[in-house]
Amino acid sequence: MDFGFTEEQLMIQDVARRIAEEKIAPSAEHHDQTGEFPLENIRLLGENGLMGIEVPAEYGGAGMDTVGYVLAMIEIAAADAAHSTIMSVNNSLFCNGILTHGTEAQKQKYVRDIAEGRAIGAFALTEPQSGSDATAMRCRAVKQADGSFVINGKKSWITSGPVADYIVLFAMTDPDKGARGITAFMIDTQREGFHRGKTEPKLGIRASATCEIEFTDYVAHADEVLGEEGQGFKIAMSVLDAGRIGIASQAIGIARAAYQASLEYVKERKAFGQAIGSFQMIQAKIADMKCKLDAALLLTLRAAWKKSQGERFSTEAAVAKLTASENAMWIAHQAVQIHAGMGYSKEMPLERYFRDAKITEIYEGTSEIQRLVIARNETGLR
């Protein structure tokens, strides 16, 4: 692995940092309090290539690699995790899935508008009764004589669901085949038969709109199947591998913000006549926070580098996501503790970092699922 960054990678990082500092950070508190979807900022990210970082230029993207994506994601997440959630779904779950498995017509139709920030994409796998057990889905797509499919069912916890223009949907086309009976579809949310539920009131990433969606006799045409019929589960798992690199990057951004706030605070805050950073217990916390932050960053860059090289990266992505998310939660916890009462107050962003960090241990594969993936890949046992 090459630890040096290219000029292009540093350039996309600088673009992300500038937008994060000038536009996102100043509005983060407002969006967290109101839950308002930051559409204007998302459009800006798209205009600057950040909604399709790994998307080739011919489809409206920045044409960068996964390492560049990680660097940019960290900058956005450090300013506000909710913005980075929207960015992650559009980059990793939506665009990546279509670029990898879609037809040329699908890439032209769905990827360009998303990559350029003119439209919002979403990814619909989870259902009310099935989270980690994706094969238990009840959403059905019944094939018709003309090759189209009639879709009925519900999906839950759909990030960007309340505002999405297009959705990658996974539905059961042959229940008797289990995982091999799942098919992926491209969904147009303006079409008859698509319905949005209420926006979920979440603990964190509150500006990232999330809702339940429902299909009632929705008709998906034959050319709206993503990949081949019955390949949906395989597509979902491969897309989630890539998505885990994005969530690891998000966790690093949250952790970095909490760590930097703590580093500044321990130098300024005084107790018993000296800066609290001179106390050994505080120094131990700072040292441990730094170690966990660096470990998460390097493991995530390793996964990103392997993906960029075209190598298998499933284990590395799971290791990165598990480590980064749990380290982010730990670092945010310590940051609140260091700030004491002020850390618990909404007057400072520490409590937001704490709330936002928690979701990184849950979505796109819980910590428990990451451990399962790692252990099964390592032992070869199922």
User: Residues with catalytic annotation?
Assistant: 364
Place of tokens 């139709």: 109
Instruction: Report the distance separating Cα 200 and Cα 209, nearest Å.
Output: 7
Instruction: Report the distance separating Cα 104 and Cα 101, nearest Å.
Output: 10
CA-to-CA separations, 40 to 22, 117, 137, 341, in angstroms, rounded: 13, 10, 35, 34
Instruction: Say which DSSP state 159 is in.
Output: E
Instruction: Report the distance separating Cα 360 and Cα 174, nearest Å.
Output: 32
Token pair for 198: 């209420």
Instruction: Report the distance separating Cα 113 and Cα 109, nearest Å.
Output: 8
Instruction: Report the distance separating Cα 232 and Cα 304, nearest Å.
Output: 24
Categorise residue 278: left if φ over 0, alpha if ψ from -120 to 50, beta otherwise. alpha
Instruction: For CA atoms 351, 356, 357, 362, give the dihedral sign.
Output: positive
Instruction: Report the distance separating Cα 356 and Cα 379, nearest Å.
Output: 33
* Nearest alpha carbon to residue 85 among 46, 133, 42, 47: 42
Q: Is 123 exposed, middle or buried (0-12, 13-18, 19+ CB in 10 A)?
A: buried
Q: Are 168 and 226 in contact (CB under 8 A)?
A: yes
